[in-house]
Amino acid sequence: MDRTTQLTARRTDLTGPVRTSGSPLAPGAGEIVRSAPDTSEPDVYDPAAYPAASVRTAEPVRTAGPARSAASLHLRAARVLADNWTGASTVPSRGLYPHQWSWDSAFISIGLRHLSPLRAQTELETLLGAQWGDGRIPHIVFNPSVPLDAYFPSPDFWRSSTAGRAAGAPRTVQTSGIVQPPVHALAAWLVHLSDPGLSRSRGFLSRVYPHLAAWHRYLLHRRDLGGGGLVSVVHPWEQGMDNSPTWDEPLSRVTPAPARSFRRADLDHGAAEDRPTDLDYGRYVRLATDYRDGEYADGRGEFAVEDPAFNALLIASEHALARIACELGAAGTARHTRAERLTAALVDRLWDPAEGMFFCRDVRTGDLVPERSVAGLIPLLLPALPRDIAAALVRTACGPHFGLGDTTRLVPSYDLTGEAFDPHRYWRGPAWFNTNWLLERGLRLHGERGRADALRDAALWTADTSGFAEYVDPYTGEACGALGFSWTAALALDLLHEPHEPHELDEPLGHGVSPMGIGTFRHE
């Protein structure tokens, strides 16, 4: 047990333990506790409770289209989150995605912290309450009140409580068996910063830290399938960019499940031409079925890919865990060192200097996958990225393949010049708000303030005019997918409220961080 786990184990009695599931705890993890709802808290979505003065930027959002006030945008985004709040967590959208999703909740909590830090903490606590004993955080936590046919694959497909028993799946809540990108520690630290007093009084960080540490241990120890120090995803859904052309080559080895063996609920909510093809979906189902039937043991399947975005988010979250460790009175040096080691492995294994971006590596063949995806730009988020690589990523983002600041309104999910590019088909070209939020942070971190400001303004305008769409046409901003999408609204709130300068989280942990990890000063 490391020093921080020892400290947090002693602090988990701050509010009195209440188990959120019947699952065995992850190794070294403390109880996730959830205090009773604070009935004295105002309705955090009530416009009267949040006047325009509470928004950091009161001037109209700067855009090429009609100007709307920041306060008005704030209120409309807040209403989206109100509509999608279930009482303990937030669904991505009521129709297409009626359960809790892992990385969605992380992004949602980042926006919720500007409305209610308590509710943002609850969002993450609810998710962590469904963590498996081996440390994995499942990509879906199912709501038992939702009919089985409302979403596929449904809980009876995953059979988590039986097929996942050996891996420590919860006994009293149904989940999927795969994971999603590890944004959670980054989100937890930002939520803490929004109200440190509340966070400390509830013991928020002391309770979530062991769960987050166990989550990272699972990824680093069980998912280093390529042996080079990076994490592999074993299903396209794990990386989050489900239908990216990046997966076409690795997926070609997978025999699809028969079409008659499943029914796609997603086509009830979107046009078939905007969704994955039946052939691709059949391969997704086959991979998930084989993983389930293998009792969710890692390393046996046909699909294993090292992805730059997934690993970059793990590195960013390692930096965040270092800060959480400092806040809890322990040294964060080891985690900072691990993050730097992972950054070096990312460059060594996935960087292509000739192309000026990162690529996925197919672990089964050992080859890089020559498809340009927005995932290859996300490492711009990392503070220890070599300066020449950061500069090359900016050039690539602004060049003909992604069109930042030139031909596109927002950075597309896939190469504009690629054969598989489609501006409307799921992750094969449309622009998504979470990836653009990450790129905005990366640009700002590496001194590209003008480009970051322009991307921020474009994202706010597009979120507003698209009805907080799930994703949009990268050229026009036309809405695609679900409307009233939670992470779009949440990240718009964050862009509205955050100061236009690098976060302290973006500073490498070291001489520029105070002993408690809360304030920073610039390096001399």
The single residue listed with the structure tokens 């967590």 is 89
Q: What is the mean pLDDT of residues 167-192?
A: 97
SS (H, E, C) 72-97: HHHHHHHHHHHHHECCCCECCECCCE
> CA-to-CA distance for 166 and 372, rounded, in angstroms?
38
Does 505 have pLDDT greater than 90? no
Q: What is the mean pLDDT of residues 210-239?
A: 97
Q: Which residue has the higher pLDDT, 70 or 343?
A: 343
For residue 460, name the pLDDT band (cuts at 50, 70, 90). very high
| The pLDDT value given to residue 421 | 96
| The pLDDT value given to residue 272 | 59
* Residue 513: strand, helix, or coil: strand
CB–CB of 451/434 below 8 Å?
no
| The pLDDT value given to residue 70 | 85
The number of residues in the chain equals: 524
The angle formed by the CA atoms of residues 45, 51 and 54, to the nearest 5 degrees, is 95
Rounded to whole angstroms, the maximal C-alpha distance in the chain is 64
Lowest-pLDDT choice from 41-45, 78-82, 107-111, 196-200: 41-45
pLDDT tens-digit map of 184-217: 999 999 999 999 999 999 999 999 999 999 999 9
**Residue 306 annotated as catalytic:** no
| The pLDDT value given to residue 65 | 45
pLDDT, averaged across the chain: 85
For residue 71, name the pLDDT band (cuts at 50, 70, 90). confident
SS (H, E, C) 375-386: HHCHHHHCCCCC
For residue 66, name the pLDDT band (cuts at 50, 70, 90). very low
> CA-to-CA distance for 21 and 25, rounded, in angstroms?
9
For residue 68, name the pLDDT band (cuts at 50, 70, 90). low
> CA-to-CA distance for 303 and 317, rounded, in angstroms?
25
For residue 2, name the pLDDT band (cuts at 50, 70, 90). very low
Query: In the structure encoding, which two tokens stand for residue 512, read together?
Result: 């520029």
| The pLDDT value given to residue 265 | 56
The single residue listed with the structure tokens 């921020």 is 456
Lowest-pLDDT choice from 56-60, 80-84, 98-102, 472-476: 56-60
Beta bridge partners of 513: 520
CB-based contacts of 242, cutoff 8 Å, min separation 6:
236, 276, 284, 426, 427
The single residue listed with the structure tokens 């988990």 is 12
| The pLDDT value given to residue 260 | 75
> CA-to-CA distance for 401 and 405, rounded, in angstroms?
12
Highest mean pLDDT among 30-39, 132-141, 505-514, 515-524: 132-141
Phi, psi of 430 (to 5 degrees): -60, 160
Query: From the candidates 2, 83, 242, 457, which is the catalytic residue?
Result: 242
Amino acid at 273: E
Q: Which residue has the higher pLDDT, 452 or 425?
A: 452
> CA-to-CA distance for 371 and 369, rounded, in angstroms?
6
Does 411 have pLDDT greater than 70? yes
Percent of the chain with pLDDT over 90: 74
Give helix 204-222 / helix 184-194 axis angle, nearest 10°: 160
> CA-to-CA distance for 280 and 229, rounded, in angstroms?
29
Does 281 have pLDDT greater than 90? no
State the CB neighbour count (10 A cutoff) for residue 320: 27
Does 59 have pLDDT greater than 50? no
> CA-to-CA distance for 126 and 521, rounded, in angstroms?
34
CB-based contacts of 157, cutoff 8 Å, min separation 6:
262, 288, 292
**Residue 464 annotated as catalytic:** no
Residue 346 burial by Cβ neighbours in a 10 Å radius (0-12, 13-18, 19+): buried
* CA 129 distance to own-chain centroid: 18
Does 57 have pLDDT greater than 70? no
Q: What is the mean pLDDT of residues 254-268?
A: 71
Percent of the chain with pLDDT over 70: 79
Give whole-number Cα distances, 453 to 87, 269, 401, 412, in Å. 35, 34, 21, 18
| The pLDDT value given to residue 95 | 86
Q: What is the mean pLDDT of residues 323-336?
A: 94
Query: From the candidates 31, 290, 327, 470, which is the catalytic residue?
Result: 470
- Strand-pair category, 479-480 with 471-472: antiparallel
User: Structure pTM?
Assistant: 0.87
